Amino acid sequence: ASNLLIALRAITPIFKPIVAENMSNNTLLQNRFTLTTRWVTILTIPPTLTLVLAPETYLSLLFTEQYTAAATAVVALSIGYLLNAAFGPEGMMLEGLGHTRLTLLNTVVLVGVNGTLDALLVPTLGILGAGIATGTALTVAGMAGVIEIYYLRGIHSFSRGLVRVWTAALLPLLVGIVIVTNTGGLVLVISLPILVVFSFVVGLRLIGGFTSEDV
C-alpha cells in the first residue's frame, strides 16, 4: 500500500528546490503547490481505487491466499495514503521554506497518533485496527502540514481543479464496482485497473479536470 505514494515521492527532488529558490514569491508557490497537489492526486486515485475495490484479488495474486485476511486493513491503509497524498507535498513545502522543525513535529505527531490508535484499536479490531490507525495518522500529519503552511504563508493546496478531480473519481468508482460485481479471476485482475484508468480520464475530460496549466 505504501507504493501508492510513489507519485508524491517522485516529485520531491523537483518540488523542494523550486520552493527554496522562490521563497519570497507567494504567487508562484501557490500556483506550484496547487498544481502539484492536483497531479499527485490524479496519479494516486486510480491505483488506490483498484486496490480498494478488489483487495483480496490482488493480495492473493501478489502474495498468497493467507494474506487476504488483511484485506480490510489494506483498504483502510490505502485510503489513508490517498488522503495523505491529496494534501500534496506539504512536507517538502515546509522544508523548502526552512521550517524543518515543523516537519519533525509532524513526524512526531504521526508516530504519536499511530501508536495511540494502535493501543486503542488493535486489541479489539486486530490487523484492521492497525490499518485504521496508520491511515488516520497519515491523514492527520498531512492535514497538520497544510494548516501550518497556510498559517505561515497564506498558501494552501486546494483549488477548484482539485474538486473536479475528486468529482471525476466517482465515475471509475462506479465502473469498478460493476466490474468487481460481475467478473472475477484473471479477467478482474486485468480489466479492473485498465477500465478504472480509462473511466477516470473520461471523467476528467467530461468535467474539465484538465487545465491549460497542464500543458
According to the model, what pLDDT value does residue 198 have? 96
23 is written with which cell numbers? Answer: 521563497
CA gyration radius, the chain: 18
Low-confidence spans in the chain with pLDDT less than 50 = none
According to the model, what pLDDT value does residue 4 have? 66
Distance CA 128, CA 79 (A): 13
Return the axis-axis angle of helices 26-53 and 160-168, rounded to nearest 10°: 10
Q: Exposed, middle or buried, 154 (CB in 10 Å: 0-12/13-18/19+)?
A: exposed
According to the model, what pLDDT value does residue 109 have? 94
